Structure 1
Amino acid sequence: MSDHHAPRSLIVTLYGAYGRGTPEHPAGPVPVAALIRLLGTVGVDPPSVRSAVSRLKRRGLLVAGRTAGGAAGYALSDAARQLLDDGDRRIYGRPADQAADRWLLAVFSVPEQERHKRHLLRSRLGRLGFGTAAPGVWIAPDHLYEETRHALERLELAEYVDLFRGAHAGFTPTCEAVARWWDLSALAELHRAFLDAHEPVLRRWARRRSTDPEEAYRDYLLALDSWRHLPYADPGLPAALLPADWPGVRAGEVFAALHARLRAAGAQYAAQRLAEG
């Protein structure tokens, strides 16, 4: 297992891909034994699984329970389920190319006695994909409006923030300003790292006619675990404002192809392991 694939991240990825059920029929607790088997397939040893589960439980993302057969297990908390649901649009569907002059500004002011909330605000806006236009002024593509509003309300931070929607009116050309608001070189490196790790996997599967469910599960889970962070680091900046050789386009294509090729077979393997209890 690559050092990049931390056990806690893989467990969240596993639940997001195969442990939620449907809105009408949410999945119940996943047996601990099944978690150990499923994470073992991607190289995580049992003590690391148990340790990661404990941390996720302390963070309020997993809740202990019993399966229908009485086995000990863990289910997603309501908050974790909401976070995963919110992430689906980002992870599985890159936004259509946005107009290059539509932006969302978040301007915030936090009293000094509540400076811990200032740190939380900066952290959350950064995780949503905002760039920094000026101290206390953060900027993102306009299509993040609803998600940003939802996140700030959920974290009870909305009272500290004013949101504005509009165009960049000057004076720096917008493509130059974008390169100042975001570290495009760092974002490009993230995309290239994804391609280096997973484009060879796609080429290997493209040469095969059959699909082994266990191999599909392993390769898909690792690809999803790598990919799901990228749409937050790179929030879908308008293509017209990015370098012509922007690697994010190819990275999105590779993940979409792996998703189409492997997800269903991987789900078959995961369902078998979960059924074993």
Structure 2
Amino acid sequence: MARIADGFIRHRVRLALRSPAGQALCSGPPMKNEDPPDLRPLTARSVVLSTLLGAHPPHLKARHLVRAGELFGISEGTVRVALSRMVAAGDLGQTGDGSYRLGERLRERQARQDASRSPVTRAWDGSWQVAIVTAERRPAAERAAFREAMAALRMAEIREGVWMRPDNLVREGPAGEGGIPHPAIAAGQCTFLRAVPEGDPAALAASLWDLPAWAERARALRARFDAASSVTDRFTLAAAILRHLLTDPLLPPGLLPGDWPGAELRHRYDLFEEEFGALFRDHL
């Protein structure tokens, strides 16, 4: 049993046992209805999804996912129904040993989440990545997929069909035009280049991203996470933190407002992730 628990710890499942202040978590009442609507309710699907998104590699035995659900008062039957529905929807796949694994789309999401938590950057030389849409008229679904891909690249649209960002990110994957790795859907619709804009780069960044709004939301999530005392509340808030980190533009420090909260928000999520191992081990 201890071996299974230790293995699960290495999977780095994202929950927590204690708050940053060190107080023990309890199974007290969940957050009240006046909480912001973007804090999504806890369901069997969300527990399964968050657990697998936190596993490296992203596959776990059904019994482990059932035990994860039990930590939040979700019955085995409810978890197994959710697993069946997620397999039918293509979100999960099954292996011969009774494990469930993330589907391709969700593995891509896991990669984006990992990158948002531990971004790899390089010294910024003042140049920007620019993507210019050169494709002909496209169907709505293709345009939507393209915009999603550009958001994943942390690029912002300065005008219709022109996207850009500071060239400070080290990206994985095959390089496209200009040595910039990018999804196939972006490569098929854009010409990529590098440029050095005239004028104040911080002002340009501020016109492309609503940095004060992002920082305000990050600080609110951080404060609510620090104040949360139940596992359920912290799980819900940690999921919201991770979604918010996916929208961090990851700009060079010189282009950010003072006291940017990105690093502190990542630290909160790291605490949440690290301490779940003890809680799960006790539950096995």
The verdict on a shared fold, with TM-score over 0.5 as the criterion, is: yes
Number of aligned pairs?
A: 241
The equivalent of 2:139 in structure 1 is 114
Deviations along 1:43-91, one digit per CA (max 9) or x if unpaired, are 5566764565455435533113453xxxx55222355335424532322
Matched, 1:64 2:64: no
For the pair 1:30 / 2:61, whether they are aligned, the reply is yes
Relative to 1, partners in 2 of residues 1:123 and 1:77: Cα closer, same or farther, differing over 3 Å?
A: closer
Residue in structure 1 matched with residue 126 of structure 2 by the alignment: 101
- Partner amino acid, structure 2, of 1:200: A
Q: Secondary structure at the match of 1:179?
A: helix
Query: How far 1:151 sits from its partner (Å)?
Result: 5.3
What is residue 155 of structure 2 aligned with on the other side? 130
CA distance change for structure 1 residues 187 and 47 in 2, over 3 Å: closer, same or farther?
farther
Instruction: Tell me if structure 1 keeps the 8 A contact 2:124–2:168.
Output: no
Once the two structures are superposed, residues 85-130 of structure 1 have per-residue CA deviations (whole angstroms, 9 ceiling, x without a partner) of: 4532322x24457527232222224432534211210122224432
Q: What RMSD in Å do the two structures reach over aligned CA positions?
A: 3.6
Aligned 8 A contact 1:108 1:160 in 2: yes
Pick one of 97, 106, 123 that aligns with 1:80: 106
Task: Indicate the residue corresponding to 2:220 in structure 1.
Answer: 193
Change beyond 3 A, Cα 1:94–1:176: same
Q: Match for 1:178 among 192, 200, 205? A: 205
The amino acid across from 1:165 in the alignment is: R
Secondary structure at 1:133 match in 2: strand
Which amino acid in structure 2 is aligned with residue 170 of structure 1? Answer: E
What TM-score do you get using the length of structure 2 for normalisation? 0.67
Q: CA deviation at 1:234?
A: 0.8
1:225 maps to which of 226, 233, 239: 239
Q: Percent identity?
A: 22
The amino acid of 2:216's aligned partner reads E
Which residue in the other structure is 2:50 paired with?
Answer: 13
Letter in 2 for 1:266: F
Q: TM-score scaled to structure 1, two decimals?
A: 0.68
Contact 1:110 1:118 in 2 (8 A): no
Quick one: structure 1 residues 145 and 37, their matched pair in 2 at CA, closer, same or farther if it must change by over 3 Å? same
Answer yes or no: is the 8 Å Cα contact 1:128–1:233 preserved in 2: no
State the alpha-carbon separation in 1 of the partners of residues 161 and 42 from structure 2: 32
Aligned position for 2:277: 267
Number of the residue aligned with 2:183: 152
Contact between 1:104 and 1:141, CA under 8 Å: does it hold in 2? yes
Which residue identity does 1:15 align to in structure 2?
L
Judged with a 3 Å threshold, the aligned counterparts in structure 2 of structure 1 residues 120 and 79 are, in CA distance, closer, same or farther, namely closer
1:195 partner letter: R
* Per-residue deviation, 1:40: 3.6
Partners of 1:63 and 1:138 in 2: CA distance? 35
Structure 1, unaligned runs of 5 or more: 205-214
Letter of the 1:267 counterpart: G
Give the SS at the match of 1:228: helix
Alpha carbons of structure 1 residues 132 and 50: separation in structure 2 relative to 1, 3 Å:
farther
Per the alignment, do residues 100 and 241 of structure 1 end up closer, same or farther by CA in structure 2, a change over 3 Å counting? farther
